[in-house]
């Protein structure tokens, strides 16, 4: 079976950035499982998986716009250090959940200068081209229940 709309796909991957550094990998874990066409993975990778079948391997280059988007400068803000109550030493690289008008947002501390902390609410991979080495493990039709819920059930998916 080929990967197409509403198929359940399981694949192993290694994700690297432009510098060739490994950002993420499924090595030593279960394959990543998703419903094709349900928006469960980044659009650029989903497009490149279309038409492949179990056993296929491919290298996929995904530009930032079809991955986690370009960096949005409005998502980078300076906040007073006092906003981090209960945290003794705020340092670059730390991540916190901020409450915004749109709901919770994961922010990363990018700089600390005196009483001012600069945080970035962009996805950590925003603005980056991504490179995937992928091996398709399996492809099957999604069940009606999976399609109704928008995610995979059972092995590699949600159990409920």
- Boundaries of domain holding 135: 7-68+126-149
Q: What is the pLDDT of residue 43?
A: 97
- Rounded CA separation 53/3 (Å): 6
Residues 134 and 111 reside in one and the same domain: no
Residues 49 and 91 reside in one and the same domain: no
Residue 11 sits at the vertex; the CA angle it makes with 46 and 65, to the nearest 5 degrees, is 30
Q: Is 80 within a domain?
A: yes
- Using an 8 Å Cβ cutoff, are 153 and 147 in contact? no
Residues 16 and 95 reside in one and the same domain: no
Percentage of the residues of the chain whose pLDDT score is greater than 90: 86
- What confidence tier does 85 reach under pLDDT thresholds 50, 70, 90? confident
- Tally of domains within the chain: 2
CATH no. for residue 22?
Answer: 3.10.50.40
Does pTM surpass 0.85?
Answer: no
Helix intervals (H) in 61-155: 144-149
């Amino acid at each position: 079976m080929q990967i197409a709309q509403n198929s359940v796909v399981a694949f192993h991957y290694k994700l690297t950035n432009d510098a060739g550094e490994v950002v993420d990998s499924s090595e030593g874990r279960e394959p990543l499982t998703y419903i094709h066409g349900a928006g469960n993975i980044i659009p650029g990778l989903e497009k490149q998986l279309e038409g492949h079948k179990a056993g296929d391997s491919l290298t996929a280059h995904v530009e930032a716009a079809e991955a986690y988007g370009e960096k949005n400068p409005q998502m980078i803000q300076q906040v007073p250090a006092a906003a981090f109550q209960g945290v003794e030493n705020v340092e670059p690289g730390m991540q916190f959940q901020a409450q915004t008008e749109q709901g919770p947002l994961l922010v990363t501390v990018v700089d600390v200068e005196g009483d001012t902390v600069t945080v970035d609410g962009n996805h950590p991979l925003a603005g980056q081209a991504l490179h995937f080495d992928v091996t398709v493990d399996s492809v099957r039709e999604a069940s009606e229940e999976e399609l109704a819920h928008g995610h995979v059930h059972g092995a590699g998916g949600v159990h409920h």
